[in-house]
Amino acid sequence: MNKSIRDSAREAGAVVNGVRADDARALRADSVTQLRRGLILDAARAAFFELGLEGASMRAIARRAGYSPGAIYGYFASREEIYAALLGESLLRLKAHVDGAPDADHAADRVKSKASAFFDFYRQNPRDLDLGFYLFQGVRPTGLTRELDAQLNAQLRATLQPTADALSAFGLTAAACEAEVTSLFAHMVGLLVLIHTGRIRMFGQHAPQLLARHLDQLTERLGRSASSAAA
Amino acid sequence: MNKSIRDSAREAGAVVNGVRADDARALRADSVTQLRRGLILDAARAAFFELGLEGASMRAIARRAGYSPGAIYGYFASREEIYAALLGESLLRLKAHVDGAPDADHAADRVKSKASAFFDFYRQNPRDLDLGFYLFQGVRPTGLTRELDAQLNAQLRATLQPTADALSAFGLTAAACEAEVTSLFAHMVGLLVLIHTGRIRMFGQHAPQLLARHLDQLTERLGRSASSAAA
Amino acid sequence: MNKSIRDSAREAGAVVNGVRADDARALRADSVTQLRRGLILDAARAAFFELGLEGASMRAIARRAGYSPGAIYGYFASREEIYAALLGESLLRLKAHVDGAPDADHAADRVKSKASAFFDFYRQNPRDLDLGFYLFQGVRPTGLTRELDAQLNAQLRATLQPTADALSAFGLTAAACEAEVTSLFAHMVGLLVLIHTGRIRMFGQHAPQLLARHLDQLTERLGRSASSAAA
Amino acid sequence: MNKSIRDSAREAGAVVNGVRADDARALRADSVTQLRRGLILDAARAAFFELGLEGASMRAIARRAGYSPGAIYGYFASREEIYAALLGESLLRLKAHVDGAPDADHAADRVKSKASAFFDFYRQNPRDLDLGFYLFQGVRPTGLTRELDAQLNAQLRATLQPTADALSAFGLTAAACEAEVTSLFAHMVGLLVLIHTGRIRMFGQHAPQLLARHLDQLTERLGRSASSAAA
DNA sequence: CATGAATGAGAGTTCATTCAT
DNA sequence: GATGAATGAACTCTCATTCAT
């Protein structure tokens, strides 16, 4: 995949023989390209963190990456594509974080573990939250391509799956489970927004505590429902 | 039409009548200025509703106000300041909307009434939500003055007071009450974000239903706590 | 018409009284604006003559006009619009030139007079020919708006009307007359292209002489047809 | 596919057989280079047909040729030079087309046959017309070298020779013949411009018909002159 | 007070051409 | 010879803000 974005329609080179020097070179070039894409993404992240989404222009990104503005287009077709890549990668890290949260035996503990992991990721990485909001920000008519949007949505949904699975252990129907996970997701998003905007201070509250309380109440309620259903 | 509005505004300042000529002039000048600020804000709101936050340029606002671009700066120091004023006015309308919600007898109904009013205002006026997010959005290099920020915060808090009052009727301590209102506020914000960004569709859920459910659970829980405390 | 291109939606100022200072100011401002438009067009023409159509960038035009690039957009909405204005004005001069050609008594002389006037205008003003070709150059998908194109077409056609009128004096049907004027137009265009590109030298010919010969043959033929039709 | 073409082209140079090794190598290198130039020209023509003159970037040409952008510069010094080569080749095809037109017995028919062949080539291959105009177009800052220009002129003139020969059969002097062929050439160029730019529609005329009429009149007139000269 | 022309910086993007590998 | 990453200048166009009038 060392093909530049612009010249990607080229055919693969002819196979020669033996250890295939061509392949080796292609692989090396490939990895170099990937490395540079990574460096540009790092620069983009840095620019975005320093300057905000609006301020992080292609020029700013290029400068930070040590490139001329035009050079970036060899790696990413547009500014949007850079942000999509950044977000995709962010969601990957989020997923890893959630997957890494302990898989407690009891359903209640598992819900708390997984939901808190989701929450904590964004609480501890506020820039990733910015990134996550990028796609949402305002009414965005000219956004990403439809497929890319769908893919990012799917990635986001996947990070909530462990929580959904834990919830379903309470014996919920699929529909009820979806309602609960949506509601919980909304709750966490709201808390994150309050943290992010500093508005939580306005209430003199501590967000993690509020989430913990919310999760307690949620699991308690579900526990009650489950036992009454069993009766 | 715009011109005639401006002209009649000017006429309004023509009435002369008072104790000290200086004060009268100052007052008159003040009120005329306030009136014109108001007209500009109307224009800004219209522009912003039509064109969105990015699209509502100073030119667009000035055109709608019947002013030249430069004239605006006699009333507002910057684009940012206009938006802050708009937000203040938006919060005023929000407050009116919440205050207008029926004051049910039962605490549970009152919580539902007031909280739903808050929620519905933003659900039905997504542009006001945009406005609300605008100043909080991400990393803001050039923000508002500290006082302005505090004032807007206070206004926001005031719109939640009726809900807080209703909650306190369940016999909560002040601290518990604050925690509940914060939690509820976060929940609503989260749902609004999901609506606003279209992400709620991703879960196939209906936001008002989710809120109703949340309010049911909340009031039920508080009711349970209240009766057990009474016992 | 002192309204800038961008803010042209403004209403007219309120009428006051007497000689109407507002109107006077508006008129003066108007004429200043027209003057500046003219200066920009001059600069555009100069840029275009020096650098060719591709090379005459907005920057180049602005520099020559003594403006910053952005300032031009207060007078013309786009690069295309500048060229359209340039072409429109060129066609106006062409029309004046053709209309000013003597109105000979005999049809043959009138054809020669009017057609030669058309031809000579472009022969002596090769830059105007460039301009005329601008709209035609290559396959231009993104060109002028449809209305503008139609208007310029009409202007062009109007410059050929005197020739068409003279031709019709030979007793031609409307259809025959249109065929003759088209054919003659094509002939002149062809000769102009040969002059313009220097290709006429390749044949060692003198274009005005060739046109004169062509007109002689044309009028002679039409004269023969007319007399044989009369017999 | 492009690759394999290139590879087989390389193989073609593998045959070694000759008197002096140096010469053989030089010749071989030469022919291989010519072959590759041809392949690049094919790609350039394809790009240009698909994308137009503006759209056919070096990247697009290189991609179609199976080369990297930089490699092209080993065969052509600039984009301009590619287009010059393309034009030369286009003129070759034009010549073949004209030469292939039937050699009628009567002079009048031969004129019509050869002239129509010229005209039809460009009518049916509008991109070749674009190419033809490209180098002549307006004020050209960076033009061709003098020799190249002369060579292309000669090629163009050669395509008109059959028509000139047919005209001379009417008993014209060399000078008269040259005047007639120039005039006819101009006429056809004019018609082609009108077709090409869609301006012919403005007159509601059909170009081939106009040309046929023009040729009828031309040959009739020459026939008349010839017979009167014979008398 | 109001005008509106003008600035100046900046946006995203394209591309012929170069040159180290 | 060929690569293709990179340059650097260019493109059109937008906009908040300033300032002479």
Q: Name the more confident of D80 and C13.
A: D80
Q: pLDDT (tens digit, 9 = 90+) per residue, D121-170? A: 999 998 898 888 876 654 343 456 677 778 888 999 999 999 999 999 99
Instruction: Find tokens 């014996």 and name the residue.
Output: A171
Q: Which residues of A touch D63 (CB under 8 A)?
A: 7, 9-10
pLDDT at D105 over 60: yes
Question: Which stretch of DSSP H or E encloses residue C97?
Answer: helix C79-100
For range D35-52, the mean pLDDT: 93
A153 touches chain B (CB under 8 A): yes
Spatial separation of the C-alpha atoms in residues C54 and D187, rounded to whole Å: 28
Q: Which band of pLDDT confidence, cut at 50, 70 and 90, is reported for residue B149?
A: confident
Q: pLDDT band for position D69 (50/70/90)?
A: very high
pLDDT (0 to 100) of residue C137: 57
Q: Of the ranges B152-156, C20-24, C122-126, which one carries the lowest mean pLDDT score?
A: C20-24
Q: Is the pLDDT of residue C16 over 80?
A: no
Per CATH, which fold does D78-230 belong to? Answer: Tetracycline Repressor; domain 2 (1.10.357)
30-49 of chain B touching strand E, CB 7 A cut-off: 33, 36
Contact B126, B196 (CB under 8 A): yes
Domain boundaries, chain A: 1-76, 78-230
Distances (CA, A) of A185 to A121, A166, C23, D68, D227: 13, 14, 63, 50, 99
The residue that leads in pLDDT, A103 or B31, is: A103
* Residue A196 clears pLDDT 90, i.e. is over it: no
Q: With an 8 Å Cβ cutoff, is D143 touching chain C?
A: no
Residues 72-111 of D with CB under 7 A from strand E: 73, 78-80
Specify the pLDDT at position D9: 42
Give the pLDDT band of residue A223 (cuts 50, 70, 90): very high
Tell me how crowded residue A147 is: count the other CB atoms within 10 A of its CB. 8
How far is Cα A216 from Cα D103, in angstroms, rounded to an integer?
99
Q: Per-residue pLDDT tens for C100-122?
A: 999 999 999 999 999 999 999 99
Residue whose structure tokens are 């600069």: C43
Positions 15-44 in C, CB within 7 angstroms of strand E: 29, 33, 36
Which whole number is the average pLDDT over A108-118? 97
Pair A56, A48: CB distance under 8 Å: yes
Q: Which of C137, C121, C92, C107 is nearest to C219 (CA)?
A: C107
User: Could D3 and A13 be called an inter-chain contact, meaning their C-beta atoms sit closer than 8 Å?
Assistant: yes
Q: Please name the nucleotide lying closest to C29, CA to C1'.
A: E4
- Kindly indicate the confidence band of residue D5, based on its pLDDT and cuts at 50, 70 and 90: very low
Please name the residue that has the structure tokens 């094509």: C186
Distance from CA of A139 to the nearest CA of B (A): 7
Distance between CA atoms of residues D231 and D229, nearest Å: 5
Mean pLDDT value of segment B52-72: 92
Q: Which of A82-86, B131-135, B199-203 has the highest mean pLDDT?
A: A82-86
Give the nucleotide nearest to B57 (CA→C1').
F15
- Alpha-carbon distances, residue A2 vs A13, A28, D124 (angstroms): 12, 9, 42
Q: A231: exposed, middle or buried (C-beta count within 10 Å: 0-12, 13-18, 19+)?
A: exposed
Token pair, residue A136, equals: 């949402």
Token pair of A120, please?
């904590």
- Mean pLDDT over B99-113 rounds to 94
Distance in angstroms (rounded) separating the CA atoms of residues D44 and D36: 12
Is B59's Cβ below 8 Å from some Cβ in C? Answer: yes
Weakest mean pLDDT among A201-205, B38-42, B206-210, C65-69: A201-205
- Chosen CATH of A1-76 out of 3.40.50.1860, 1.10.10.60, 3.90.480.20, 3.40.50.1370: 1.10.10.60
What pLDDT, in 10s, does the model give residues B68-99?
A: 999 999 999 999 899 889 999 999 999 999 99
**Whether residue A11 has pLDDT greater than 60:** no
Q: A13 CB near a chain D CB, below 8 Å?
A: yes
Is the CB of residue D92 less than 8 Å away from at least one CB of chain C? no
Cβ count near A186 (within 10 Å): 28
D1 and A11 within 8 Å at the Cβ level: the answer is yes
Q: Are A211 and A188 in contact (CB under 8 A)?
A: yes
User: At residue C8, does pLDDT exceed 60?
Assistant: no
The pLDDT-based confidence of A9 (bands split at 50, 70, 90) is very low
What mean pLDDT comes out for the span C170-189?
96
Q: pLDDT confidence of D11, banded at 50, 70, 90?
A: very low
pTM: 0.81
- What band does B4 get if pLDDT is binned at 50, 70 and 90? very low
